[in-house]
Amino acid sequence: MDYIENIYICLAAPLIIAIICLRRTSSRRVSLFLLTGMTVCLLSSYISSFLSAVYHADSTAAIAEIAPVVEEVMKLLPVLFYMVVLEPKKEDAAAGMLMTAVGFATFENVCYLTANGAERVVMLLARGFGTGAMHVVCGMLIAMGFMYLWDRLYLRLAGMVGLLAVAISCHAIYNMMVLQGGSVARAGFAIPLAVMLIVLIPGRRIIRKMLG
């Protein structure tokens, strides 16, 4: 048994305390989005398991086809709610999307660690950085939509749906590569890191603007 609810409680409790104690709005917002990312990761596992049972999907189909759609949509929904209801600055919404992705990846990696043990340090490093980078890259794609498409009404819906589809596709490709093992899996772990480097080196100013 994975006891993912127990893991969630242990990780969420310090963040909840931080949200209560912090006075700066920006610091509280970062902690809240980290907690949101962990929460939607937990909910995504329930929804993916339910859909897999409904459609009688095997583990490979669930990981490569169902999980990417559920996870990327679940990561987007709370930030979309934040934008529609509270109408924050676009920079704050973009940063929220990234921190939600970080919280999601953190909880997912901890669950993987408890399920598979901590003996293979190299594998854990590869998965930790690879999965973390993958979720951040997918979050960056959606954050770009908040930054550059939200003010253009005619592009808002089509652009966000298009970027969500790209994020889901990238997530699915990553999952399929990692499932293969060997050199294909190593390439899968490395690709998100390479994409981050490609984006960060020439686009550092853009990323700083996104992060506020």
Give the pLDDT confidence of 121-176 residue by residue, as tens digits: 777 777 777 788 888 888 877 777 777 777 776 677 777 788 888 888 888 888 88
CA-angle at 78, arms to 1 and 41, nearest 5°: 15
Q: Are 133 and 196 in contact (CB under 8 A)?
A: yes
Predicted confidence band of residue 206 (pLDDT cuts 50, 70, 90): low
Q: Kindly state the average pLDDT of the residues 95-110.
A: 86
pTM of the shown model: 0.82
Reported as type and span, the H/E element at residue 57 is none
Predicted local confidence at residue 43, as pLDDT:
92
- Hey, what are 69's tokens? 């759609």
* pLDDT tens string 21-39: 877 777 788 888 899 999 9
Mean pLDDT for the chain?
Answer: 80
Q: How far apart are CA 73 and CA 110, in angstroms?
A: 21
